[in-house]
Amino acid sequence: MNVREWKRIAEKEVLRDGDRRAFMKGVEDAGGLKTERYLTCRRWVNAVDAVCAFLREHDPEKERFFRAYYGIGAPRIRCAKDGTVAVSMQLNVSRTTVYQWRGEVMTLVLLAAVQNGLFNPLCIKETNE
């Protein structure tokens, strides 16, 4: 796999953020067991939250973009092309800027996913030394 493919996977996972949060809330409300699926969902949610927190501190406009474009905490505009136009108009930036920000944000999501153990890009095995 290469970085582009990892970014595509990360983007698909970010788009599932709302479903993940709903699943986790259902498990928690029901007092259910925290299965491997739940723990994986928790790692992805933590990665998204970490990116939001990082962007909030370093570039609030990109955080607004991230939340609007991917529907973090609110409904997302479903069609990618319409979403790009709507977000660019909402934030008063060009479509080119939206595409650039999307790439930058996905790099951050990928880094957060690696940090949370969701990707192991260098296939490094954990040792207990």
Divide the 129 residues of the chain into consecutive groups of 10 and give the mean pLDDT of each group: 86 90 89 86 94 96 91 68 78 89 94 88 64
Q: Rounded to the nearest 5°, which phi and psi values hold at 59? A: -160, 80
Which tokens hold the place of 3? 């970085």
Predicted confidence at residue 30, as pLDDT, reads: 86
Listed in sequence order, the residues at least 6 apart from 45 whose beta carbon sits closer than 8 Å to its beta carbon are 17, 20, 21, 24
Predicted confidence at residue 119, as pLDDT, reads: 81
As a residue count, the chain comes to 129
Identify whether 126 is part of a domain: no
Number of structural domains, the chain? 1
Range of the domain at 59: 3-115
Identify whether 84 is part of a domain: yes
Q: Is 125 helix (H, G, I), strand (E, B) or coil?
A: coil
Predicted confidence at residue 79, as pLDDT, reads: 55
* Contact in structure between 58 and 101 (CB atoms under 8 Å): no
Degrees (nearest 5) of the Cα angle 60, 45, 34? Answer: 160
Identify whether 31 is part of a domain: yes
